[in-house]
Copies of this chain bind each other. A is one copy, B any other.
Amino acid sequence: MAKIKPGKNASKKDVINQKAAVLFREKGFSSASMRELAEAVGVEAPSLYNHIGGKSELLQEICFKVANAFTSYLDTTENMEESFAARVEHIIRFHIRMMLDHFDEVYVANHEWKHLKEPYLSNFLIQRRGYEKRLIGLLEGGIAAKEFKQTNPYVAVLTILSAVRGLEFWQQHKKNISSRELEDDMVNHLLKGITK
């Protein structure tokens, strides 16, 4: 997921997409109005429609941009010649960095996907389910290779994905802790637990 730089690199469409992500995160998709978005962009509401197809198209682009970023990173890790534990750690760290670097988009994809229209809604859920399945496969591999404890891989994946997702709270009231420290602490907690 490339970061959009302000300036001549960013087309009007890019600006609209980025402002939409911020607005949808702040107010939720349904509460955010096209008039507010237009104001954030600096035009009148009808002018937006020279660049975009409609409100729901904006949500689609955000959700699938995020989903595709995660899917393609998972492709990468599956081709790595590393231990299962190392690959799971890579994925956890990627999730953490995505949350920190693309906060608005990831937040919107996590919270507002239910407002996608068909067939996008179904496609999104299928893609997410596939992602989870492949992650569960990685956990199962690690269990079979005796790198992980004998545990329910489904619950483990659920726990990991939920924990990294929770970084959205951290993002909101930035604490006096570096993102590197945060990453290490969370990875350690998830892989090794907290009890001695």
Q: A residues engaging B (CB < 8 A)?
A: 27-31, 85, 111, 114-115, 139, 146-149, 151-152, 154-156, 158-159, 161-167, 169-170, 175, 177, 181-182, 185-186, 188-196
Which of B147, B151, B158, B189 meets A188, CB within 8 Å?
B151
User: Could you tell me the dominant secondary structure of chain A's interface residues?
Assistant: helix
- Min CB distance, A7 to chain B, in Å? 32
In chain B, what residue has the closest Cβ to A192? Answer: B193
Copies in the complex: 2
- Min CB distance, A55 to chain B, in Å? 13
In chain B, what residue has the closest Cβ to A189? Answer: B159
Given A30-B30, A155-B185, 6 other A-B residues pairs in contact with their CB atoms under 8 A: A147-B195, A154-B177, A159-B166, A161-B166, A162-B165, A162-B169
In chain B, what residue has the closest Cβ to A168? Answer: B162
- Within the assembled complex, what's the spacing in Å between the Cα atoms of A185 and B30? 37
**In the A-B complex, the 3 residue pairs with the closest CB atoms:** A162-B166, A193-B193, A30-B30
- Within the assembled complex, what's the spacing in Å between the Cα atoms of A181 and B169? 28
- Within the assembled complex, what's the spacing in Å between the Cα atoms of A139 and B189? 13
